[in-house]
Structure 1
Amino acid sequence: MMKNLLKTAVVGAAVIASSLAMAQPAMASTFSWNVGDGVVSYDDAKNKFCVRAYDSEGARSVEVKLPAGGSTFTITDLNNYYGKPGGTCRYLNTIYSENTSLTVTARSYWGERGTWVDRGSKSFTT
């Protein structure tokens, strides 16, 4: 009987703890996402969102779209083939308030392939 009571208490505590954890406000996230011909990243500590086309193997480009006040905000990065080495970054704190959930969609281009490829989407919180 004592053993069953202890099990019930442990299960009850676990249910309460998980309920509280799920009820917490959205927490910001930091990520790095390889999109085939480049990388998309977000650094929460700096509120910095970056898009970078890889600087290798000819012409490469990465384009991402973010929602912005009912419209879409687009960032495109071109690689060193176009004379634009490095990435293209934006500080999102000038566009979005803290703890805003966003879904970014990406597509990329590689000159040898000669076509744009949709890379899907990824969600994160600022």
Structure 2
Amino acid sequence: MGKIERLLKELTTEHKEFLNKMKEFQERLEKEFSEETVEEIIKFLDEDIERHAKKEEEDLVDAIEEADANFDSGALIFGHQTLNDGIDDLKTAFEEYKNGKADEKEVIKYIDRVFILLKDHFVEEEHYLFPDILKLDLEI
């Protein structure tokens, strides 16, 4: 198994773990909205998702460039920037909630939006980007 294939398997496993965690967060919020749960979600996004994105942007991109210096890894980074923008919007909505300028529905709307962005991003990577990258590994 090549370096790229190993990384892609690891990243795909993390996607599944993250999807389960997001489902758990949504179930908790459906039962009862709490600031603690929102703070956990933000921590999950800032730490786990950020660490995952760095692994893709650094480790995976390095491995790709080693295999093919001409491969366009820009799509990967663009997707992460879109996610970061969504996470920033969520943080802003949560701050507004804490200051009495937004309600629970507004915060949940932004959480849902970020989770949808993440799910779509994972699907795009696993169904389109990763298979293209895997071809590079086979050509080495």
What's the TM-score, normalizing by structure 2?
Answer: 0.27
What's the TM-score, normalizing by structure 1?
Answer: 0.29
Q: Which has the higher contact order (CA 8 A, sep 6+)?
A: 2
Larger Rg: 1
**More helix by percentage:** 2
